[in-house]
Amino acid sequence: MDIIHTTFITSFGWCGLIKGEKGLKRIFLPEKNRKEVISKIKVFCSLCVLSEGDFQREIKGITAYFRGKNKKLSFCLDFSGSTNFQRMVWSETAKIPYGQKRTYLFIAEKIGSKNSARAVGNALGKNPFPMVIPCHRVLRADSTIGGFTAAGGIMLKEKLLKLEAKNI
C-alpha cells in the first residue's frame, strides 16, 4: 500500500491526514487554508499519494469532534518511528477524559518518571495524533496553558479546551 494523504475542511479550518498500511501516520490540525496543510503534508511525506476515498471514517470523526459531537476519537494508529518514552507519554495522555485536564507532572508521575515533566512536554510536542492523543488537555503544574506546537499555538489549544468545556 502506498502512503496516502488527504485534506478536508472542518469548522476550525483545513486539516490533513496521512495513512499507511499500519494505520494513520499523522493528523494535521486546522490551518487557515488548504495550501498550508498540503505544504506540511509534503514536508512530512514528499512521496505521499493523494487519496480522497480512503479516509471517510477519520474525516467523519474529526469533523464531528470540531463540532463538539464526537468526544472519543479512535483510529488505527501507526507509531513507527516513535520512542518507548513517547509511546508511554502518549498512552497515558490518551486516557484523559474529554473536557478534563491534567498536568505535565501528572503524566510524568503516571508513567513512573516524576522528574521528567519537561520531557513529557517535549514528547507531547511531537504527538502525531492530536485529538486522538489529546495533548491539548495537558497544562503546566500551575494550571496555566503551557505550550502547543501545532499551527495556531496556544490560541488553538485554548479554543479546543473551550470547545470541550462547552460540550461536556
Residue 149 within any structural domain of the chain: yes
Please tell me whether residues 57 and 128 are part of one structural domain: no
Residue 156 within any structural domain of the chain: yes
Residue 73 within any structural domain of the chain: no
Q: Average pLDDT in the 22-51 region?
A: 95
Measured CA to CA, the distance from residue 91 to residue 154 in angstroms comes to 22
Q: How far is CA 143 from CA 64, 98, 165, in A?
A: 28, 17, 15
pLDDT at 1 over 80: no
Domain count, the chain: 2
Report phi then psi at 139, rounded to 5: -120, 170
Q: What pLDDT is stored for residue 147 in this prediction?
A: 83
The answer to whether the beta carbons of residues 34 and 24 sit under 8 Å apart is no
Q: What pLDDT is stored for residue 10 in this prediction?
A: 97
Please tell me whether residues 59 and 24 are part of one structural domain: yes
Q: Is 135 a catalytic residue?
A: yes
The one catalytic residue in 45, 48, 76, 135 is 135
Please tell me whether residues 93 and 155 are part of one structural domain: yes
The CATH number of residue 129's host domain is: 1.10.10.10
Q: Average pLDDT in the 31-37 region?
A: 95
Please tell me whether residues 113 and 42 are part of one structural domain: no
The one-letter code for the residue type at 150 is: A
Measured CA to CA, the distance from residue 111 to residue 115 in angstroms comes to 11
Residue 125 within any structural domain of the chain: yes
Please tell me whether residues 97 and 144 are part of one structural domain: yes
pLDDT tens-digit map of 128-156:
999 999 999 999 999 899 888 887 889 99
Domain hosting 29: range is 4-66
Please tell me whether residues 143 and 101 are part of one structural domain: yes
* In the chain, % of residues over pLDDT 90: 90
Band the pLDDT of 20: cuts 50, 70, 90.
Answer: very high
Please tell me whether residues 152 and 122 are part of one structural domain: yes
pLDDT tens-digit map of 82-93:
999 999 999 999
